A and B are shown apart, each in its own frame.
Chain A
Amino acid sequence: MRAWAPIAVAAAALFALQLLLGRFEFFVYLASLVGVNVILAVSLNIINGMTGQFSIGHAGFMAVGAYTASVFSLATNDTRIAGLGVVSDQIFFVAALALGGAAAALCGFLVGLPSLRLRGDYLAIVTLGFGEIIRVIVQNTPSLGGPLGLSGVPQYSTFAMVWFVVFITVLVARRLASSTHGRALWAIREDEVAAEAMGVDTTAYKVRAFVVSAFFAGVAGGLFTHFQSVITPAQFDFTRSIDIVVFIVAGGLGSTTGAVSAAVVLTLLPEALRSLFGAIGADSSLSAVVDQIRKPLYGVLLIIIMLARPQGIFGTNEAWDLFKKKKAAA
């Protein structure tokens, strides 16, 4: 019962916020963008931070989820469950998200398998290859719109739904990190040989980390497409994967708190710059500059963090542990 209480509370709170803020379109758009990036960062952190593997193909899983969900929603666009009104749309939306997540999880399983044999750089190259292969396949599949992508995906997404998924992702990461079975992931990160010697089936755990992580990346993709309405393969390229890696490295590999914070700040920063430039000179060329300076800016930021605090802003610390310690001291 206690396990479900936080979920119920979060759902109610988000629903209330939705009623309050739902009409501010730009806010909802920004919040959704941030939310999707938080889900991506927190889920990638399960592989890269907790398990200590190095995946740089997270955008690939997101793409699989986004395209799967889009195709489903486009196909069922005209179908309604009689008598349910907008609720019918939301039911189809949840189904699309679940399908997107499942398809990505399947890919996660397949990509996770080579991690049985490969370590470090080699695994990184496999995940990178996976991400690029997905993008190239989509680009060359006419039924998926080729390089132009898919458009007209129904805009089912809401502020509440995005942040409910954010909440669930964080909850899953947190409960995994602090349960004994999930803790085996930390053991793999710390010392794989010792973990094996202590009866931890390291390959099974690694594959599972990939499956869970890819599932949430797929759901993030599904959410993304349902508020963007248009998706193109270029949105899921290598730089997107790197952005997510930057989030978790800056936040602190292994820290869910760090992943969330960095994803929020680093998503809002370019948006803030863009609106700033928009306010100065109303022409759009300055906004385009933001995208160009964003990448070198991230690079510089990462170098500074690596020099000043190699373990990332939060290290492996969590906000909720701080709270726990305070309580224990009191």
Chain B
Amino acid sequence: MSIIEVNNLTKKFGDIEAVKGISFKVEEGEVFGFLGPNGAGKTTTINILCTLLNPTSGEAVLNNFNVVNNPNEVRRSIGLVFQDPSLDERLTARENLEFHAMIYNVPRSERNERIKNVLEMVELSERQNDLVRNYSGGMKRRLEIARGLLHYPKVLFLDEPTIGLDPQTRNHIWTHIRELKKKENVTVFLTTHYMDEAENCSRIAVIDYGEIVALDTPSNLKAQVGGDVLTLKTGNDEIAALRLKEDFGLDVKLVPSESEGTNSSGIYFEIENGDKFIPKLIKEADLNILSINLRKPTLDDVFLKLTGHAIREEKADVSTFHRAHMRMGRR
């Protein structure tokens, strides 16, 4: 029996169908990733699995308990780091952690030790007795993660856990998560739109517009992209793309432009043995090449290939972050 089983799950908010009949299984001890752009339905799925939302239809079973019929048993099996802030700002960091440890039944004898460890992990030991309302945004985020790792649940949900954190802290946190997984056999369910974070996963479900478009290990997913990815910046992308299609029979795509006024900021294509192709390209193609970049395929490329659009095309990224901070700032 898998630790999570989801069958044909849907969730509608009025006219919006946020989750459109998804099905998947997560095995015990896995690090399972949900990768998708803003609004794909990642948080909605987690909210259903953690009993905060009822599904419109379909079924979800966690640790052999149905999330709708046995919410109390499900809640006893899980831990969460939410995407949006969820701290008590009128308590100190330590009091927030103590509240969590108590309510999750962490044995009294282990409480102090664990609190000390997670505080060290996120480097907040010195500020532990400050009120959370006086913390910076990043400090709050770190505290939130520390709190999520305080008890050892069957399934740990991490909804975009390390958004806005510096690389060093992200490393600390990932080391801790891996240890937890090894020692306590915790299953980790992660959502992210950071590709490098997704690489930590044993399996990844790529989700777009409420549907799972692929589900596999990171390396298998990357193998779907044929060979290497070559990106060129040229004087005229449209002409360059046309020539490469005609002369080399390549399937060339435009890199979506990051600035207003231009249509593209380069072109790219997949090619086997890209390192050997570059000299040939330079010798034979009569193009105004400004720069060449060769790299192994990443999950970004996988996403682009599967959905036809880049994962962070949408500018909503900024607004979700903004929304979270607005909420923290009010009081």
Q: Say if A and B assemble together.
A: no
B residues with CB within 8 A of A: none
A residues with CB within 8 A of B: none
